[in-house]
Amino acid sequence: MSVATLDAIVRLPRRPLAALARFAVAVVVVTLALAEPAGATQIQRVVSPSGIEAWLVEEHAVPLIAVDFAFLGGSTQDPLGKEGAADLLSTLLDEGAGDLSSEQFQAKLDDLSVQVTFRDGRDRFEGEMKTLSENRDAAFDLLALALNVPRFDGEAVERMRAQSIAVRRRAEKDPESIAGRLFSKTVFPDHPYGRPADGTVASVSKVTIDDIKELKSKIFTRKGLKIAVVGDIDAATLGPLLDRVFAKLPAEGKLAPVAETKPVAGGTVRETAPIPQAVVRFGGIGLKRDDPDFVAAYVMNHILGGGTFSSWLYREVREKKGLAYSVSTGLSPMMHAGLFVGSVGTRADKVDESLAIIRAEVARMRDQGPSETELSEAKAYLVGSYPLRFDTSDKIAGSLLAIQVDELGIDYIDKRNSLIEKVTIDDIRRVAKRLFAAEPTVVAVGPKAE
C-alpha cells in the first residue's frame, strides 16, 4: 500500500475497439511467451550514441514493444497552494504536441494502435508507451513529441482541469480518499509528502499554463532518467530511438529540494463522515528501500498483514473475531522517508476493539516474532510468486523500471530470492523492534460510534 496515490485518477485508454483487440491478442501471446522463471530474464544494458541508458529485455516471439520510463520529481515539485499541478501535467501530454492538435495527436495514436500514458508519483514522474513493432518508429516519434514539445493549448488545459476537478469533488466525499489524505497530512505535517498529491478543487483551479510549463522544465530532464524496454527490438535498433526521444531534453532542471523526514508516530485523529463503516489508517516509521533491513521487513510484513489470507491480522481480526471486512499492512518506501502503513475497515463501534487486536499482534511480532514454520511458509510464498511479476511484457518493463528507480542493480532479479531465503527469525525480530518501538499514528473516518 502506498499513500502516494490513494485517490489517483484512472484514465481509460481512448482507443478504437479494433486497436484494443490487436493489443489484447498480442498481450495474450506475449504472456505465454514470457511464462518462464524470473531468473531466466536476460537484461541488457543499452547506451545510446548520446549516452542515454536503458535496460532491455528482447522478446521476438510477438510483435510488441513496451517502454517504461521515470523522471526525478513528482508531486513534491507542485507549487505550494497549487497541488495537483503534476497530476494535471500527466493528463496533458497526449493532448496535442508539435504541429498536432489534441484531436490530431489522438487520431495518430488510434491509427497506429499506440498507447501512451503518464502518471505522477510523489518522487517520480513516470510514462509508458506500448506499440506494435510494425509501427515502432512512428510510435517513438509520437512519444518524442509528447515529451519535448507538448502544446498545452488552452482548450485542452481547461478540459482536463474540469475532469480533474470532477474527480477531486468525488474524492472529497470518498472515505478511502479522505482517510488517505488525512493520514498523509498527519504523519508528514509541514512536508511535501503531507500535501494532497492530486490536489484539491481549490488548488487545481489555481494551476496556470505557466505553472505546468515550468513544472515540465524542472522534471523532464536526463538527470536521474530511468528507462526499461521489453519486446521485439534489439540493442542496435533501440539506441538511436532512445536519442530520438530523450536526447534533446535538458541535462538537468532546478528541482525544489525535498528534506529528509520521518513520519510522526502516535496519536489518534478522527473525522466524522456519513458512511456506514469506518475507514482506519494506522502506521508510523518504516524503512527506505536501501535500508539493509528492508528485505527482512518485507518478509515480516507479509506474515503480519501483507494481504494474504494467512496473515496474522487477517486471521485474528477478520476470521476469528469477524470485526473487519478488510485489514492489511504494507511498506511504503519513498525517496526521503520510509513509512509503515496499515488499514482496517470495520463498524464504527468496533474501531477500538479492532485496533486493540492489531496493537496486540504488532507487539507479539515485536516481542516474539513468528514461528519457524510461519517464516518458512512466508518465504516459500514470496519466492514462488515472484515469477508472476514477469509473465507479460508490461510487468517485466514495470519491474525493470522499479529495480532501476530503487537502484538495486541489474543483477537483482537473479539474487532477489536468495535474499528472501536468507531472512532468519532473528532478522524478523530485529526489524520488528525497529519499526514498532513507538505507538502508531491512527486516523479514523466514519460515523460516530453509538
Q: What pLDDT band is residue 16 in, cutting at 50, 70 and 90? A: very low
Has residue 400 got a pLDDT over 80? yes
Statement to judge: residues 406 and 282 lie in one domain? yes
Domain membership of residue 282 (yes or no) is: yes
Statement to judge: residues 306 and 230 lie in one domain? no
- Strands (DSSP E) contained in 218-358 are 226-231, 268-272, 278-285, 324-333, 338-346
Burial 127-149 (b: 16+ CB within 10 A, else e): bbbbbbbebbeebbbbbbbbbbe
CA distance 320 to 416: 34
Statement to judge: residues 196 and 278 lie in one domain? no
Domain membership of residue 23 (yes or no) is: yes
- Strands (DSSP E) contained in 334-440 are 338-346
- Mapped onto helix, strand or coil, the DSSP state of residue 143 is helix
CA distance 413 to 417: 8
Q: What integer is the mean pLDDT of 304-324?
A: 92
Pairing mode, strands 53-58 and 115-120 = unpaired
Statement to judge: residues 287 and 238 lie in one domain? no
CA distance 21 to 27: 10
Burial 309-320 (b: 16+ CB within 10 A, else e): eebbbbebbbee
Backbone angles phi, psi at 38, to 5 degrees: -60, -35
Q: What pLDDT band is residue 4 in, cutting at 50, 70 and 90? A: very low
Question: Roughly how many angstroms between the first and final C-alpha of the chain, as a whole number?
Answer: 30
Statement to judge: residues 137 and 227 lie in one domain? yes
Question: Would you say 316 and 309 are in contact if contact means Cβ atoms under 8 Å apart?
Answer: no
What is the pLDDT at residue 38? 55
pTM of the shown model: 0.90
Q: What is the pLDDT of residues 111-162, one digit of tens each?
A: 999 999 999 999 999 999 999 999 999 999 999 999 999 999 999 999 999 9
Q: What pLDDT band is residue 308 in, cutting at 50, 70 and 90? A: confident
Statement to judge: residues 213 and 66 lie in one domain? yes
Domain membership of residue 258 (yes or no) is: no
Q: What pLDDT band is residue 189 in, cutting at 50, 70 and 90? A: very high
Statement to judge: residues 204 and 294 lie in one domain? no
Cβ neighbors of 180 (< 8 A, separation 6 or more) are 3, 6, 7, 281
Site of grid cell 473475531: 321
What is the pLDDT at residue 280? 97
Domain membership of residue 259 (yes or no) is: no
- Mapped onto helix, strand or coil, the DSSP state of residue 44 is strand
Statement to judge: residues 211 and 273 lie in one domain? no
Q: What integer is the mean pLDDT of 321-342?
A: 96
**Exposed/middle/buried for 80, CB within 10 Å: 0-12, 13-18, 19+?**
exposed
CA distance 297 to 38: 22
| Dihedral sign, Cα of residue 196, residue 199, residue 201, residue 202 | positive
Domain membership of residue 234 (yes or no) is: yes
In this structure, the number of other CB atoms found within 10 A of the CB of residue 56 comes to: 25
Statement to judge: residues 111 and 160 lie in one domain? yes
Question: What range defines the domain where residue 431 resides?
Answer: 268-446
Of the residues 214, 246, 278, which one is the last residue of a structural domain? Answer: 246
What is the pLDDT at residue 17? 40
Pairing mode, strands 324-333 and 338-346 = antiparallel
Question: Would you say 73 and 219 are in contact if contact means Cβ atoms under 8 Å apart?
Answer: yes
Statement to judge: residues 286 and 199 lie in one domain? no
- Mapped onto helix, strand or coil, the DSSP state of residue 326 is strand
Q: What pLDDT band is residue 64 in, cutting at 50, 70 and 90? A: very high
Q: How far is CA 166 from CA 10, 88, 205, in A?
A: 13, 13, 11
Q: How many domains does the chain have?
A: 2
Domain membership of residue 276 (yes or no) is: yes
> For the ranges 17-26, 60-69, 76-85, 314-323, which has the lowest average pLDDT?
17-26
Residue 21 half-sphere exposure toward CB, CA atoms < 13 A = 3
Statement to judge: residues 410 and 339 lie in one domain? yes
Domain membership of residue 9 (yes or no) is: no
CATH number of the domain within which 188 lies: 3.30.830.10
Angle at 206 between CA 334 and CA 92, to 5 degrees: 65
Statement to judge: residues 238 and 124 lie in one domain? yes
